[in-house]
Amino acid sequence: MQTSMSNGVPLASEGSSIVQFDLNEEQSDIRAMVRQFTTQEIAPYASEWDEHDYFPRAVYQKMAELGLMGMTTPEELSGTPLSRLTAAIVYEELAKGEMATAVGLSVHNMVTGSLARFGNEEQRHRWVSRLANGELLGAFSLSEADAGSDAASLRCRAERVDDHYLLTGSKMWVTNGGEADLYLVMARTQPSKGAAGISCFVIEKDTPGLTFGKTERKMGLHSSPTRELIFEQCAIPTTQRIGAEGQGFKIALSSLDGGRINIGAIASGVAQAAFTVARDYTRTRTQFGTTLSSFQGIQFMLADMAMKIEAARLLVYEAAYKLDQGQAASMYAAMAKCLASDTAMEVTTQAVQLLGGAGYVRDYPVERYMRDVKVAQIFEGTNQIQRIVIARALLQEYS
Ligand SMILES: Cc1cc2nc3c(=O)[nH]c(=O)nc-3n(C[C@H](O)[C@H](O)[C@H](O)COP(=O)(O)OP(=O)(O)OC[C@H]3O[C@@H](n4cnc5c(N)ncnc54)[C@H](O)[C@@H]3O)c2cc1C
């Protein structure tokens, strides 16, 4: 399909301003590969992992073999760099099988990408290849108990003493926490300087002075561990500071647009999976002597779900495309994350409704989709924060 519109979603030929909704050959091949992997290695086990809070580390090794652990890493550091758009397609496909694994992978790639971008030569060579080839798993630690949406108010302290820093304090909500080998941690080096007083450190799991607190007992995303990090006089060599002192918050923010697009893609994948289960169920379930899908009230629900999924998905692709082109993408990334996660919450709730009692029990995956996807409205910046970002961009544009 071609039109003369210039602000659409050019999938077929990135760089073209003509709207084309077909994937190019590379994207089609990667989607087919990830779809097959998800169908064979993730989807059949997802409810068991959910039931037992099981973290499938071996699956990450298999994803590394497919190049998915180095999607944001240059080739010379063992990466298999993909455009943001192609990466969004990967996350979407993985999330159709299970959201938790897609989220763990997104965090890992965020860490790998940040180290590749902001690390010095020695740091890049020490860690990035091993992250990209799956030997190491990464985690990203910005949030604290009293610093969530207002992350710049974080208090975990990193005090410089000679050739090292002493870290004291605790971090919360760390995805891959306890399982990851490497932690990208934001800590305060200057108490009086707000966001400019935050620095970024890379910290290995077995560092003395670092312990892991409680694992959160969550409503969903059970196979993704979320854990507290506790630092007690934890000595980190200055060589493990990433970037300059005071640059930590900027490093954390630099991966936000990509991270938000990933979460939008993941939410879109979960919504599509929920829709498919609900549609198929209504075709076979009979009540009042006919299939549910023959009732117009049900058809309208399915039509609304499909429309909203498609709109959210296209916005995710557009945000990814803009980021790939080096265009201003922050507002679009916020819109994509917000719309896709709100849509996914609505669609998964409707999917449970369409299955009736069967939707509320674990025989079908829709209750898991609904429990899992709720967090997409909360992390990577809550959807209220996304709306603040969007409104700020819109108002600045006209001021
Ligand atoms: C499962 C899970 C995994 C996570 N993984 C990570 C991770 O790997 N690394 C990491 O660093 N963090 C992680 N987080 C933390 C996550 O980013 C925070 O939970 C999120 O930023 C919100 O912070 P908060 O929970 O402190 O909520 P709060 O900031 O206390 O917000 C509470 C409510 O107030 C609203 N609110 C706050 N400020 C405003 C405002 N100005 N205007 C309007 N409404 C407002 C919020 O939108 C929310 O609805 C994770 C969280 C969860 C639940």
**CATH number of the domain that 111 lies in?**
1.10.540.10
Which is nearest to 83 in space by CA: 254, 318, 321, 329? 321
> Are residues 79 and 171 both part of a single domain?
no
Tell me: do 273 and 387 sit in the same domain.
Answer: yes
Looking at the fold, whether 363 and 308 belong to one and the same domain comes out as yes
Q: Would residue 292 count as lying in a domain? A: yes
Q: Residue 384: which domain range?
A: 253-397
pLDDT per position as a tens digit, 100-109: 999 999 999 9
Taking the C-alpha atoms of residue 36 and residue 378, their distance in angstroms, rounded to an integer, is 30
- Chain CA centroid to CA 214, Å: 22
**Of 132, 150, 168, at which residue does a domain stop?**
132
Q: What is the mean pLDDT of residues 167-174?
A: 98
Asked if residue 158 and residue 91 are part of one domain, the reply reads no
Amino acid at the residue 120: N
- My answer on whether 258 and 385 are in the same domain is yes
On whether residue 5 sits in a domain, the answer given is no
Residue 362 lies in a domain: yes
Spatial separation of the C-alpha atoms in residues 85 and 13, rounded to whole Å: 12
Q: Count of residues for the chain?
A: 399
pLDDT at position 248 over 90: yes
Q: Which of 99, 132, 165 is the last residue of a domain?
A: 132
Please state the domain count of the chain: 3
- 258 occurs within a structural domain: yes
Q: Residue 311: give its domain's CATH number.
A: 1.20.140.10
Which of 132, 167, 182 is at the close of a domain?
A: 132
Question: In this structure, are 226 and 309 located in the same domain?
Answer: no
Report d(CA 66, CA 79) in Å as an integer. 11
Closest by CA position to 227, among listed 183, 261, 268: 183
**Could you tell me how far CA 42 lies from the centroid of its own chain?**
17
| pLDDT (0 to 100) of residue 397 | 64
CB 110 within 8 A of CB 140: yes
**pLDDT for 19:** 67
Q: Which atom of ligand 1 is nearest to the CA of 150?
A: 29
Q: To test the ligand 1 pocket, which listed residue (379, 386, 387) has its Cβ within 8 A of the most ligand atoms?
A: 379
Rounded Cα distance between 189 and 197, Å, is 6
- From the CA of 260, how far away is ligand 1's center (Å)? 14
Same domain, 319 and 373: yes
Local confidence band at 1 (pLDDT 50, 70, 90 cut-offs)? very low
In whole angstroms, give the CA distance from residue 174 to residue 142.
Answer: 8
Q: What is the share, in percent, of the chain residues with pLDDT greater than 90?
A: 93
Q: Does residue 256 contact residue 333 with C-beta atoms inside 8 Å?
A: yes
Query: What is the pTM (predicted TM-score) of this model?
Result: 0.95
Task: Please report the atom of ligand 1 found closest to the CA of residue 388.
Answer: 42
Measured in whole angstroms, how far is the alpha carbon of residue 334 from the centre of its chain?
Answer: 13
CB 366 within 8 A of CB 351: yes
Q: What is the tens place of the pLDDT at every residue in 61-114? A: 999 999 999 999 999 999 999 999 999 999 999 999 999 999 999 999 999 999
Q: Do residues 273 and 390 share a domain? A: yes
Residues 126 and 149 in one domain: no
Probe target for ligand 1 pocket from 173, 203, 217, 222, with the most ligand atoms within 8 Å of CB: 173
Same domain, 266 and 363: yes
